[in-house]
Amino acid sequence: MTDQPPPPGQQPPPYSQPYGQPPGGYDPAWGYGPPGVPYGVPRQGPQEETTWAIFAYLGNVLIGFLPALIIYLVKKNTSPFTRFHAAQSMNQQLTLLIHVLAVVAVCVPPAILLDAPAILILLVLPYLELLIAGWTFIILGAVKAGKGQYYRFPTFFCFRMIR
């Protein structure tokens, strides 16, 4: 290998290849490219998987578990990573719904029969759980999915009903 610049008529190969072409443009005479540029063509698959996984969590903020359900049904056979995060997003929403409905089922009948609406104060606990734990785990799940990592929520906040 020489430290001399290339002849005047030759240009070095580009640092990144167009999408769909193999990264065979590496020439040792030109090096790997500037610092911070990954070698080869960035694969479209993992980026798309992480985007869908993030949408599975962020859809909970806007609509509820419906976006996660749609993403799960569309991607369940093609992407295990997206399937895991969409299933976890749905499980988390369903688990928190079960928590709230269980407390409602226990508190509302005695409040009606005894004509004591003070019993409904117990609904504050699952409501706070829904707010704090719900938002915390949605954000945490979206961040981990964006980094391409698997992360399982604690079982109390996310029963594994859908796998």
Q: What are phi and psi of 94, to 5 degrees?
A: -65, -35
Domain ranges in the chain?
47-146
The Cα 72–Cα 15 span in angstroms is 36
The Cα 2–Cα 45 span in angstroms is 38
Residue type for position 130: L
| Of 152, 145, 143, 146, the residue nearest 91 (C-alpha) | 152
Q: How confident is the model at residue 145 (pLDDT cuts 50, 70, 90)?
A: very high
Extract the tokens encoding 145.
Answer: 């999915």
**Residue carrying the six token digits 């991607």:** 75
pLDDT (tens digit per residue) in 45-99: 578 889 999 999 999 888 888 999 999 999 989 989 999 999 999 999 899 889 8
Check residue 27 and give its pLDDT.
Answer: 45
The Cα 62–Cα 39 span in angstroms is 38
pLDDT (tens digit per residue) in 30-48: 455 444 545 544 334 578 8
**Residue carrying the six token digits 């290998």:** 1
